Structure 1
Amino acid sequence: MTEVSATAPTILVIDDEVRSLESLARILDDDFDVRTAATIREATEVLETEWVQVILCDQRMPEQTGVEFLKSVRTRWPDVIRIIVSGYTDAHDIIDGINEAGIFQYITKPWHPESLILTLKTACRLYQLQRENELLAIELKMSPAGARQKVRDRREQLRRDYDFDDGIIRGEESPMNAVCEMLKQVAPYDVPVLLTGASGTGKELAARALHYGSLRWNKPFVVENCGALPDELLESELFGHKRGAFTGAVEDHMGLFERANGGTVFLDEIGEVSPAFQVKLLRVLQEGEIRPVGSTRTRSVDIRVVAATNRDLDEEVRAGRFRADLYYRLAGMVIRIPDLKDRRSDIPVLAQALLARAVGQLGKQVTGFSREAIDCMCNYNWPGNVREMQNEIQQMLVMAHEGSELGADLLSRHILRADPADADEAGTMNVEAIAGIEGTLKERIEALETRIIRETLIRHRWNKSRAARELGLSRVGLRSKLERYGLDNVKPLPASRRSAGSTG
């Protein structure tokens, strides 16, 4: 084939029905450089003379089936993306097409024009990616030393990014200091580590720090969320499978354990795996061997396993829901990552780091947080931990004006109302805690009223007229309460400094 200069991708449409061929050509002509063929011979001539990216072939052809023809195409022009169109949905044809002819997609009639065009655009993009990968492989062969140096530089950068001191962000007097010291001590030793703690506390970050602080740091680090997949898919993902092992297994698949050979496998949410899969995982950890699904042979792997869970695995073992032998295989060292509510000194520095990351992702510049916003964040329990804080800061950044300061008025209401003295485990106001405050009923109600008024004023940037309107008070009534609760000495910010998040 000779490459053409046309900018649009070249599509070869094959169909023995003239009307169908004309219809397809007319629909696709705006987006693609369309070539048509009514016979297999004509199609072969086009492939021999044109630079075709995608073939759209009807299944029922007079000389041979579309699948049979595309099998021969796969041999002579393996890079061409192959698609079958058919009015029949025979399962045998579909399986043959996928397994033998390497069909990208099987489209049934009647097809929808927009859906067909989208499928073809995706196929063209896949073809382009294949070409880019081929060029990259050629470059790597031409300059292996340079490629190796780039890989080394990237790994060194990753090692610095996940360093115990710089990669895990915390304050000077943080409870995480002791955790990081423990991670640093255990990292060089090839023992399994079990990380415990609530969701969102940063267990994966700790696992990466362990890997890049270990002797395996220049080998792969792979992650699998064990709670996100059923047993069958989890087994395939971790151990791999052979072609034909199950429906949809169209080619051999290397599992994560084999892919990470020499490196570290991070098994997140390990407490969610079923008892049946626990047995299979235990065998791998004991023997150091995996057996891909559908294979009769085992393969040796050399990996370090770091597991994580938000469950109490000791309790799960006692309840019989988690195997004790597997637990002890995983828990060579147990390290607990504290909740963010137990790390309040980390909140200001962590918030700044998360804001810098969000600014980089969204491309929107702000000057930072107001002191009041930081104080409100420090008062909140953050039941979703760092992940919840990340979402909150991203939301604040979206709502703020370009170049402005992120004020407390941009925070969610439940954060503005929070106080560590009377917040429950969910980070929300705990009525029982408030009821336990010493004092008369009047004093307790006034404490709650103070909280509500302060939260409303913050959201309205201390605009007393708007706050009074929302609370159903007159300005005189609100002023009286502000004097009583010591909130009357705060002045509203100038209008020019009010951000987009003001609800007034």
Structure 2
Amino acid sequence: MSRPGILIVDDEPLSLETLVRILDEEFEVRTATHPADAERILEEEWIQVVISDQRMPEMSGVEFLARVRERWPDLARIIISGYTDAEDIIDGINRGGIHQYITKPWHPDNLLLIVRNACRLVQLQRENALLALEMKMTAQALEQRIAQQRERLKRNFRLDGIVRSPDSPINGVCDQIARIAPYDIPVLLTGESGTGKELFARALHYNSPRADKPFVAENTGAMPDQLLESELFGHEKGAFTGAVSPRVGLFEQADGGTIFLDEIGEVSTAFQVKLLRVLQEQEVRPLGANRRRKVNVRVVAATNRDLEREIRAGRFREDLYYRLAGVRIHLPPLRERSMDIVPIARHILDAAQRDFVKPVEGFTQEALDCMRRYAWPGNVRELQNEIQRVLVLAPGPMLGADLLDPRILRAGPHVGTGLTAVPGVGERAVSLKERVEALESSVLRETLIRHRWNKTQAADELGLSRVGLRAKLERYGLLSSGDEGSAEGGG
């Protein structure tokens, strides 16, 4: 590590020699007998402390250090003088910005201590300036990074970027959101679990004038009232057991932006009163606080319940409902938009490959057909879970139907809505024979797919002969092309 640079300016050689002898062991010492020589040294070398004698023929030490102060203001300036007049000292401090005024005679140890402190002061000032510059650059970089992230979010949640087929019922939903996004009106999203209500809430936010402000989300049905009140409205230190520090609630965090209240139909009637007041007054009072705080948020709520039925049953306040449902948008379940299953599945697979770092070529056509036939009672969330599971289990580059869960393979061309629904049942009245045949057809298809259409293995599992299995396949139209000439164990 280089030693600090010291410049000593004195027209008396003996005095210079004495100062150099004392300081040379600890500092990098340069000397000058004239102010002009001293300034040339300052221009060429890194000096931290200038020590000047007061009495010099060309100019006084105070005058010289005043010139130094103008050109090199970051240096520490020390003057040595035999005069102890108070006016001289004050003049030196004011004109030359003197760090230390040393009077003769001085003690070597005291001189060393003064110079060390001066060097340390210069170093700290330099570090402080660099830190201030770094903080400024960091703040600018952070602002730029936040702006880039906001732009990326806006791109990710563009309405034309929501994955769907050209003839999807979701097109109407996107049209509604595009029309209402610019206006500060509360929105209630309804639909079954897993239909993407938070996705559309974010799309609503990032296509609105509030897009540059925060979007915060909370599942309001997942916690008791006190915890939910603390989460949404905040609390002061000591407001309740465990409140060891104050907390800013989500309403305040979302100030200027959007708050998404998911599962709003699960909120207790007692908490509904508190929430209604916040929506009416546009202000919150944290737990344990004496004063209310104004907030400016747009509220988007979501539920899988029929809130109008809940109102009639006395479980949901009608006045809160109308506060939330400025505009009501219904998201259709996946079974009502089977045309979206394939594009959504491929989109989910692309994301899963990146997350799991496991590249594959894609789905087989048979796998896509099976997914399209299935009802997906868990909607997009269930589809996502299934695709991630299939990707993890896949032994090769293609994701075949044999990897799908048996419940998906058993699905027929027309499906019911429940997990145990019988294929072909639910849309019209059918006879017992038709129900049995629909179930038998789905079991045959699921077994053959699992065995990759190896009829010998399928027949063994089902307890049928090869001839009996073939007869049933012909009956239900499950024979694939080329079956007539296939080998004994082939598909």
* TM-score (normalizing by structure 1): 0.67
1:433 CA displacement: 4.4
Q: Measure the CA separation in 2 of the matches of 1:329 and 1:399.
A: 47
Q: Which residue of 1 aligns with 2:151?
A: 156
- Selected match of 2:479 from 488, 491, 496: 488
* Residue matched to 2:140: 145
User: 1:140/1:475 Cα in 2 relative to 1: closer, same or farther (>3 Å)?
Assistant: farther
Q: Give the aligned partner of residue 459 of structure 1.
A: 450
2:295 equivalent to 1:322 = no
CA distance in 1, matches of 2:412, 2:260: 36
Residue matched to 1:387: 381
Unaligned runs of 5+ in 1: 1-135, 493-503
* Structure 2 counterpart of 1:410, from 394, 398, 403: 403
Query: How many angstroms does 1:434 deviate by?
Result: 9.7
Structure with the greater alpha carbon radius of gyration = 2
Q: Equivalents in 2 of 1:172, 1:361: separation in Å?
A: 28
Per the alignment, residue 195 of structure 1 pairs with: 189
Judged with a 3 Å threshold, the aligned counterparts in structure 2 of structure 1 residues 216 and 460 are, in CA distance, closer, same or farther, namely: same
Partner of 2:85: none
Look up the match of 2:325. 331
Q: What is the root-mean-square deviation of aligned Cα atoms in Å?
A: 2.3
Partner of 1:450: 441
Give, in angstroms, the shift of residue 139 of structure 1. Answer: 5.0
Q: 2:464 corresponds to which residue?
A: 473
- Over 3 Å counting, the alpha-carbon distance change for 1:285 and 1:424 in structure 2 is closer
Q: CA, structure 1 residues 287+489, in 2 after alignment: closer, same or farther (shift >3 Å)?
A: closer
Distance 2:428 2:235 in 1: 59
Q: Residues 62-91 of structure 1: CA distance to partner in whole angstroms, max 9, x if unpaired?
A: xxxxxxxxxxxxxxxxxxxxxxxxxxxxxx
Q: Secondary structure of the residue that 2:248 maps to in structure 1?
A: coil
Task: Look up the SS of the partner of 1:306 in the other structure.
Answer: strand
Give, in whole Å, the separation in 2 of the partners of 1:487 and 1:360: 36
| 2:232 paired with 1:232 | no
Instruction: Give secondary structure in 2 for the equivalent of 1:228.
Output: coil
Q: Which amino acid aligns with 2:154?
A: R
Provide the secondary structure at the position in 1 that maps to 2:160: coil
Cα 1:386/1:296, change in 2 over 3 Å: same
Alpha carbons 1:216, 1:262 under 8 Å: kept? yes
Asked if residue 294 in structure 1 is aligned to residue 270 in structure 2, the reply is no
Alignment partner of 1:254 is 2:245: no
Query: Contact 2:342–2:368 (CA<8 Å) still a contact in 1?
Result: yes
Amino acid of the residue matched to residue 299 of structure 2? Answer: V
Q: TM-score, normalised by structure 2?
A: 0.69
Judging changes above 3 Å, is the alpha-carbon distance between structure 1 residues 434 and 350 closer, same or farther for their aligned structure 2 residues? Answer: closer
Q: Distance in 2 between matches of 1:137 and 1:160?
A: 35
Partners of 1:487 and 1:303 in 2: how far apart? 57
Whether contact under 8 Å (1:434, 1:444) holds in the other structure is: no
Verify: 1:341 aligned to 2:335, yes or no: yes
Select which of 372, 383, 387 maps to 2:366: 372
**8 Å Cα contact 1:176/1:338 also seen in 2:** yes
Q: Percent identity?
A: 60
Q: Residues 139, 368 of structure 1: CA spacing in aligned structure 2 closer, same or farther, 3 A cutoff?
A: farther
Cα distance in structure 1, aligned partners of 2:437 and 2:452: 22
Q: 1:356 aligns with which of 350, 353, 369?
A: 350
Q: 1:356 to 1:227 in 2, by over 3 A?
A: same
Aligned counterparts of 2:368 and 2:429: Cα–Cα separation in 1 = 27
- Equivalent runs, 1:73-222 vs 2, <5 Å: 140-166=135-161, 168-222=162-216
Runs of 4 or more consecutive aligned structure 1 residues displaced over 6 Å after TM superposition: none
Displacement after TM superposition at 1:450 (Å):
2.4
- Separation of aligned partners in 2, 1:210 and 1:488: 48
Aligned to 1:27: none
Amino acid at match of 1:242: E
Q: 1:292 to 1:469 in 2, by over 3 A?
A: same
Matched to 2:217, the amino acid is V
Q: Is the 8 A contact 1:462 1:491 kept in 2?
A: no
Aligned residues: 355
Deviation readout 1:133-158 (Å, 9 max, x if unpaired):
xxx99955433323212111110110
SS in 1 for 2:189: strand
Which region of structure 1 is more displaced relative to structure 2, 410-419 or 153-162?
410-419
Kindly state the Cα deviation for residue 365 of structure 1 after the two structures are TM-superposed. 1.3
